[in-house]
Structure 1
Amino acid sequence: MILRPQDPDYWIAAIFSAKAAQNGGVVRRNRIWVEREIGRARFEDEVRKRGFHLLETGQQLLVICNSGQIRVVF
């Protein structure tokens, strides 16, 4: 049996301490996972607090871990 911490602060710290997040990359999470483990509103607040960008496509949430301009090409 795998035990998973239920503390949203633990999950937030884990997500945003990932190498991709620290290097200005992209962090991807399943929307359902986020809603179950952290809560959508809390996740959006944490992304916004860091000045990052959040995109949603299908069941995936993509966090662009930098505050630069976004340009959608197509």
Structure 2
Amino acid sequence: MANYKYSVENTTKIQREKLKKTALSYSILDAPKPTQGTRDLVDRYVDGDIEISEALALTIEKYRKLGRSRD
């Protein structure tokens, strides 16, 4: 994943923080604010702990589990 433009390896923490702010501003234009759990995952990306693709996969898995528990 290192060749991905927004990978941790290819960005600085300052760049990732700016990406986070831009994404948040777009995401709340016509929708509720992301959950604290989702914001925490994005913060882990900004800190360089995980890739954004991992944050996305973890978020999807969370909601899949929620959906299964409702069945």
Structure showing the higher helix proportion among its residues? 2
Is the structural similarity TM-score above 0.5?
no
Q: Normalization by structure 2: what TM-score?
A: 0.34
More contact order relative to length (CA 8 Å, sep ≥ 6)? 1
Structure showing the higher strand proportion among its residues? 1
